[in-house]
Amino acid sequence: MNERHDDLFDEIRLRRALRLEAAELPPRLDVAAIAARAATPDAASRTAGVLNTLIAAFAAAALVAVATVALVVQAPVLLAGWLDDAIVLVARLAVPADGALGLMQEPTVPVTVLAAVLFATAYELVLRRERRRALGAA
C-alpha cells in the first residue's frame, strides 16, 4: 500500500532546492547611489532625455492639431443643433407667454396688480404694529 516512488521528490528536499542562496538574492536598492547617479547624467542619458522631450512635444503638438481640426469640423454641426434647440425652446415658451402678455396689455390688469401689492403691504404693516403692541403690552 505504502509504496515509495523513486521518481517523486520528497517535499522537504524540494523546498530546500527552491530556496535562494545568499549569493542568488537580488542586490538591494541603494537610494544614495541612485540619487548620485541621477545627479551626474552621462551623455547618453542626456541625449535620451532630449530625445524623449522632443517626442513628447511632437506628440502633444499632433494631439492639439487633431483636436483643433476636429473642433473646427464639428463646431458648425454642434452649433446648428444648439441653435435648433434654442429656437424650439423659445417657441415653446412664447405660446404661454403670449397669453400672459396679452392679458397684461389690458389697462385694468396692471392697475389691479399694483393695487393688490399696495393693499398687501398695508395689511402686513398693520399686522406688525398689532404684534408689536401685543408684545409690548404683555
**Residue at 95: amino acid letter:** V
| 103 within 8 A of 109, measured Cβ to Cβ | yes
Cβ neighbours for 42, distance < 8 A, ≥ 6 positions apart:
none
Supply the pLDDT for residue 137.
66
Q: Are 49 and 41 in contact (CB under 8 A)?
A: yes
Query: How confident is the model at residue 4, as a pLDDT?
Result: 59
Q: What is the DSSP string of 3-50?
A: PPPTTSPPHHHHHHHHSPPGGGSPPPP-HHHHHHHHHS--HHHHHHHH
Single pTM value for the model: 0.36
pLDDT digits (tens, 9 = 90+) for 68-110: 999 999 988 888 988 999 999 999 999 888 888 887 788 888 8
Q: Average pLDDT, whole number, for the chain? A: 83
pLDDT at 6 over 70: no
Q: How confident is the model at residue 1 (pLDDT cuts 50, 70, 90)?
A: very low
Give me the mean pLDDT over the 3-26 stretch: 67
The full set of domain ranges for the chain reads 11-105, 106-138
Q: What is the Cα–Cα distance from 79 to 91, expressed in whole angstroms?
A: 18
pLDDT for residue 66 is more than 90: yes
